Amino acid sequence: MAQARRAVWLRLESAFVWLLCAAPLALILWWGFTGDLTANPVEFVLRELGVWGLRFLCLTLAVTLLARYAGMPRLMRFRRRIGLWAFAYVTLHLLTYVAVAHEFDWAEIATDIAKRPYITIGMGAFALLVPLAVTSANAVRRKMTPRAWRRLHRSVYLIAAMGVVHYFLLVKADTSSPLLYGGIVAVLLAARLLPRFTRSRTA
Ligand code: HEM
């Protein structure tokens, strides 16, 4: 009985996290249906998807820390899902850029990648994110050693930092928002590295 109740609870918890992750996308779609995507809908959608991609990347990093150091190991169950949602938002962000903003004009896109540093960095971050999404599948993960898998997945810190630089380079005047995300990524990285540093000093 207790086991059945626990199974139901786990399923509810899982559905709740799924709904939370899907909510920003549902909201963007809703605004699309109700014609509330501002006067510049393409830029608005592109920016919303980008900023949610960055938020979910930060959340993935925060989950690891909370699970390890704040006594919430159960959160680890959701890390892969949140990470995959980050990938989904960034992929939709890229697709909006390629298909809607540039209408598959590959020559124009190539020029943009070569000439605009924020696009170059964004593309680099996306290229690094793809292997993480692929190796999050259990079948692929089983083929890797745990050490190799952990090493590869540590690059999520670099990817989040590249997302911040991408954001910083594209804003024209007010840099407060990218700086805020930069601060969050820096704190999360420091919190992850600090225990190792103190361990090696006391050893
Ligand atoms: C990990 C990868 C990426 C992250 C985290 C990310 C994140 C962001 C963020 C936070 C913004 C600004 C949102 C705002 O102003 O509120 C943005 C804007 C933008 N991103 Fe990305 N991005 C990524 C990859 C890419 C890629 C691959 C491309 C295209 C090749 C791209 C193209 C753009 C463009 C065109 C804008 C809007 C620029 C403007 O409105 O002037 N991003 N992105």
Q: Write the pLDDT tens digit of every residue in 30-81.
A: 999 999 999 999 999 999 999 999 999 999 999 989 998 888 888 999 999 9
Q: Is 105 left (phi over 0), alpha (psi -120 to 50) or beta?
A: beta
Question: What is the Cβ-side half-sphere exposure of residue 6, based on CA atoms within 13 angstroms?
Answer: 3
CA of 182 to the centre of ligand 1 (A): 15
Q: What is the rounded distance in angstroms from the CA atom of residue 45 to the CA atom of residue 125?
A: 19
Ligand 1 nearest-atom number relative to CA 123? 27
Residue-by-residue DSSP string for 139-160: HHHHTS-HHHHHHHHTTHHHHH
User: Does residue 102 line the site of ligand 1, with CB under 6 A?
Assistant: no
Distance from the CA of 185 to the center of ligand 1, in angstroms? Answer: 17
Report the separation in Å between the CA atom of 129 and the middle of ligand 1, taken as the mean of its atom positions: 14
- As a whole number of angstroms, the distance between CA 122 and CA 165 comes to 9
pLDDT of residue 197: 75
Pocket test for ligand 1, best of 44, 97, 103, 168 (most atoms within 8 A of CB): 97
Rounded to the nearest angstrom, the distance between the alpha carbon of 145 and the centre of ligand 1 is 33
Residue 84, pLDDT score: 98
| Helix axes of 117-134 and 106-115: crossing angle, nearest 10 degrees | 110
pLDDT at site 203: 56
Q: Is residue 47 within 6 Å of ligand 1 at its C-beta?
A: yes
How many CB atoms neighbour CB 49 within 10 A? 23
* Cβ–ligand 1 contact at 79 (below 6 Å): no
Q: If you take atom 10 of ligand 1, which residue's CA is the nearest one?
A: 51
Protein residue closest via CA to atom 11 of ligand 1: 50
Per-residue pLDDT 10s for the chain (203 aa) are 788 999 999 999 999 999 999 999 999 999 999 999 999 999 999 999 999 999 999 999 999 899 988 888 889 999 999 999 999 999 999 999 999 999 999 999 999 999 999 999 999 999 999 999 999 999 999 999 999 999 999 999 999 999 999 999 999 899 999 999 999 999 999 998 987 777 766 65
CA 50 to centroid of ligand 1, rounded, Å: 5
The ligand 1 atom at the shortest distance from the C-alpha of residue 47 is 13
Residue 53 CA: nearest ligand 1 atom is 5
